[in-house]
Structure formats: C-alpha cells, structure tokens
C-alpha cells in the first residue's frame, strides 16, 4: 500500500452570496497517496475547484469560508498552520495547475522570469545562471520546442497548449510532493492533451508525486487515475478504484455519467439509437431537497430517498468502494 500523504476529512466550504449562504463543499473526505493519481469528477458547480483551492488555502474570503474539516498533509493540518508556513508549502510541496493558464501567468514577465522566480523562492542555493539553465531545462522537459528562445518570450506570444505546458513547468520546477491539476487539458485539443497527460505520467513516475486530477472527462479519468471520487452538489457520492468504478458503478449518478458518453460499436459500425441521458438538471445549491440531492433525476428514488431517513451518507459497499445511496445498484 502506498504512503498516504494527504487526507481531507469532513471538509465544508461556504460562500456568502446576496441570495444567502451556500455550502459549495459539504463533508468531503479524500485521500491522496504517494505516486498515485486520484481523479475527482463531476459536473460544473459540483465543488471540485473549491475543494482544490481549499487544499491550497486559496478560498477567497470573504465571501468564502472553510466552515469545518481538516486537511492533513504529512502530519500537519494545513488549515491550522501559520500563513507563512502555508506559503512555503504552496508551490513548493503542493503545486496547482489551473484550467486557464493565462489567468495564472503574469503577462508582463517573460516565461523564463516566472519559472526563475519560483526557483528563487524554493531553491535558494541556485545562482542566477543556474536558475536560467534550470528554467530552460524545465521548458525542454515539458516539450516546448527551442526552449532557449521561448524562455525570453511573454505568455501572449505562446499558443494555449504551450502556455499550459509553461504552467506545468512552473508547477514542477520545485518537484512538488502533490500536484493538483484542475481541468489541466479541458481547453486544449486532444492531440495536445495527449502530450500533456503523457508528460504528467512520466514526471509522476520520476518524482513519485501524488496527483489530484480534476476533470469532467471520464476518458481522462479512465486513462490517468488510480482512484476516483465522484462529486455531486458539493458531496462525494461514490469513490472506488478506477476499474471497479467503471465496471461496477454503484451510485445511479455515476452509472448515468458513464452511460451518457457517446460510444460506438466499432466492430459493427452501429450507433446506439439514442444516448442514455440523465434527465433534468443539477439542483441549485440554494434549494437542495431533503434526503438525496439526486432524487429528482433518479429512476430508483423511493420515500427513503426523499428525506424520511435523512441524507444518504458515504458507506463502504465493497473493498475500497464507497457510495452514498440508499439503494446501491450492485
């Protein structure tokens, strides 16, 4: 069993909005292991980014607030350590790649300067020249052509794919213990996505980092993750080892997500007549029902699901397989 390096327990994050307080993350438990990738999937608004930002202690406050929970990183609760210490961990031990690289790259500094700045903060022993060499080496590592030239360029001079790779180079410049990748390839073409996922995989093997891969693409999950957590309305509704989750989904929402991926029987060339869908839509966080949040879209809902016995909680239903459902599918 790999070493557990991060454990999130009962995380609750709230936002104050003009329509009232919403609980964007509600009682989330997650574990990250050394050298392993944990996938977090779910539709937009399900609380994936807020969970990630909580680990980094980057929840904007106000309006946000971590209302409850612990985030244990190698024996320390990240939510309680002093701010200075958190700053040292951030980008050093725990790094994050954001979906839109342009918002996290500084437009007025060259790509080289930005990587060097990270190195200056985290590897103080390096000289100026050594930092430049290391920046070029990092750009080369992430597959940027002619890195000696690119290192002097500004973010806007690069293509979207290259900017994302620069972000990855920056995140990896300090060889982090944990890499949080928030939809790292959603904005990219599949060919570039394949390059980047392969690169992350290679670096993970070399550095042994734990990865949290946030995505809504189940293809990316199937190909990159060891374990998966499925989020819905701020809660984890199912988690399991990746093959187990795809082969034996227990929560009706997970099953619906897997089935709604267009698929084609390439042996016969027949397409399914209709795509199976999950009817309806995600309820508003302002107006969650009693009982199970998925009840209005679920074909298996009973009175129990509508609140007579409270909310379904995440329960073990097999080896390393948990689901929050009163009537798991089996």
Partner 1 sequence: MSEYLLEVNNLTKKFPIRGGIFGREVGAVYAVNDVSFKIKKGETLGLVGESGCGKTTLGRSLLRLIEPTAGEVFFNGVDITKLDADGMREMRRKMQIIFQDPYASLNPRMTVGGILAEPMEIHGLFKDKEERRKRLLQLLDQVQLPADALNKYPHEFSGGQRQRICIARALAVEPEFIVCDEPVSALDVSVQAQVVNLMMDLQKDLGLTFLFIAHDLKVVEYISNRVAVMYLGNMVEVAESHELYGGARHPYTKALFSAIPNPNPNVTHDRIILEGDIPSPMNPPDGCHFHPRCWNATDECRGSYPPVTEESSTHAYRCYNPNQLS
Ligand X SMILES: Nc1ncnc2c1ncn2[C@@H]1O[C@H](COP(=O)(O)OP(=O)(O)O)[C@@H](O)[C@H]1O
Binding site for ligand SF4 (CB under 6 A): 251-252, 292, 294-295, 298, 300-301, 305, 312, 325-327
Return the beta strands (E) in 226-310 as ranges: 227-232, 235-241, 264-265, 270-271
Pairing relationship of beta strands 20-33 and 76-77 according to DSSP bridges? unpaired
Longest dimension (CA), the chain: 68
189 binds partner 1 (CB under 8 A): yes
100 binds, among ligand X, partner 1, ligand SF4, none (CB under 5 to 8 A by kind): none
CB contact set of 251 (below 8 Å; sequence gap of 6+):
230, 237, 238, 294, 323, 324, 325, 328, 329
Residue among 27, 47, 101, 155 that touches ligand X (CB under 6 A): 47
Least distance to ligand X, CB of residue 74, Å: 25
Window 243-262: contact mask with partner 1 (x via CB under 8 A): x--xx--------xxx-xxx
Task: Supply 198's token pair.
Answer: 């392969």
Q: Scanning residues 288 to 327, which ones bind partner 1 (CB under 8 A)?
A: none
Residue among 2, 3, 10, 17 that touches ligand X (CB under 6 A): 17
Q: Give the closest residue to 228 by CA, choosing from 48, 72, 95, 105.
A: 48
Least distance to ligand SF4, CB of residue 326, Å: 4
45 binds ligand X (CB under 6 A): yes
64 binds ligand X (CB under 6 A): yes
Please, which residue, 111 or 257, has the CB nearer to Mg ion?
257
Cα separation, 116 vs 132, in Å, equals 7
Q: Are 114 and 105 in contact (CB under 8 A)?
A: yes
Please, which residue, 103 or 268, has the CB nearer to partner 1?
268
Residue among 20, 60, 75, 262 that touches ligand X (CB under 6 A): 60
Q: Give the closest residue to 213 by CA, choosing from 200, 199, 194.
A: 200
CB atoms near residue 152 (< 10 Å): 12
Residues of this chain that bind partner 1 (CB under 8 A): 43-44, 145, 159-162, 189-195, 197-198, 216-224, 242-243, 246-247, 256-258, 260-264, 266, 268-269, 271, 274-279, 281
């Amino acid at each position: 069993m790999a070493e557990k390096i991060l454990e999130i327990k009962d995380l609750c994050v709230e936002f104050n909005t003009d329509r009232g307080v919403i609980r964007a993350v509600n009682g989330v438990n997650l574990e990250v292991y050394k050298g392993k990738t944990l996938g977090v999937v779910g539709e937009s608004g399900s609380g994936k980014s807020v969970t990630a930002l909580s680990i980094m202690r980057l929840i904007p406050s106000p309006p946000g607030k971590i209302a409850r929970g612990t985030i244990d990183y190698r024996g320390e609760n990240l939510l309680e350590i002093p701010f200075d210490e958190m700053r040292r961990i951030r980008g050093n031990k725990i790094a994050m790649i954001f979906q839109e690289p342009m918002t996290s790259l500084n437009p007025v500094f060259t790509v080289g300067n930005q990587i060097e700045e990270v190195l200056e903060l985290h590897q103080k022993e390096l000289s100026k020249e050594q930092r430049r060499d290391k920046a070029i080496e990092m750009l080369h590592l992430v597959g940027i052509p002619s890195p000696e030239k690119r290192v002097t360029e500004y973010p806007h001079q690069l293509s979207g794919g290259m900017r994302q790779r620069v972000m990855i180079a920056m995140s990896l410049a300090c060889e982090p213990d944990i890499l949080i990748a928030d939809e790292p390839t959603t904005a990219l073409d599949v060919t570039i996505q394949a390059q980047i996922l392969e690169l992350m995989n290679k670096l993970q093997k070399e550095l042994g980092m734990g990865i949290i891969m946030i995505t809504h693409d189940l293809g990316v999950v199937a190909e990159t993750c060891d374990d998966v957590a499925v989020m819905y309305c701020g809660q984890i509704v199912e988690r399991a080892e990746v093959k187990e989750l795809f082969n034996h989904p227990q929560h009706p929402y997970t099953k619906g997500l897997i089935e709604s991926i267009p698929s084609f029987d390439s042996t016969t060339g027949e397409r399914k007549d209709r795509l199976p869908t999950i009817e309806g839509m995600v309820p508003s966080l302002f107006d969650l029902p009693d009982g199970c949040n998925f009840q209005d879209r679920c074909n298996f809902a009973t009175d129990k699901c509508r609140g007579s016995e409270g909310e379904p909680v995440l329960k073990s239903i097999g080896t390393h397989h948990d689901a929050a459902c009163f009537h798991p599918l089996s």
